[in-house]
Amino acid sequence: MAEENQAQSDGGQQQQGVPVMLDERELRRTYVNTYRIHATADEVIIDLGFNMPDPNPQSGQAQFLLKMTDRVVMNYANAKRLSGSLTQLVKRFEQQFGEIPIQPGARK
């Protein structure tokens, strides 16, 4: 979000007139519908991937394949900022369109 991209000083106040160059030339887009989170004392690790029925089940029983495609590693301060940004984003969406169900099969 643009407001998070503004430069801030150590005191938390926004600096005026500091241009920010955004380079999106190597930006990749990928669809994810699953994630897993790991943590160390210093970092948060988020693996992103795709959950789908196994196209070649070996046992004849229905199976799911979790294909993890991307890994994001960040420190706890960035994880907290990301959490706050996502919370605000979802809150605004739900105010406009209604509550988002998180239980499988509970779509409206």
**pLDDT tens for residues 43-58?**
999 999 999 887 777 7
pLDDT of residue 13: 55
Compute the half-sphere exposure of residue 35: CA atoms within 13 Å on the CB side of its CA: 13
* Distance from chain centroid for Cα 81: 12
Element (H, E) at 94: helix 76-97
Does residue 61 surpass a pLDDT of 90? no
Element (H, E) at 89: helix 76-97
Q: Determine phi and psi for 106, rounding to 5 degrees.
A: -100, 25
What confidence category does residue 19 fall into, taking pLDDT thresholds of 50, 70 and 90?
very high
pLDDT of residue 86: 97
Structure-token match 């938390």, residue found: 12
Domain ranges of the chain: 28-97
Q: Comparing 32-36, 69-73, 99-103, which segment has the lowest mean pLDDT?
A: 99-103
Mean pLDDT of the chain: 84
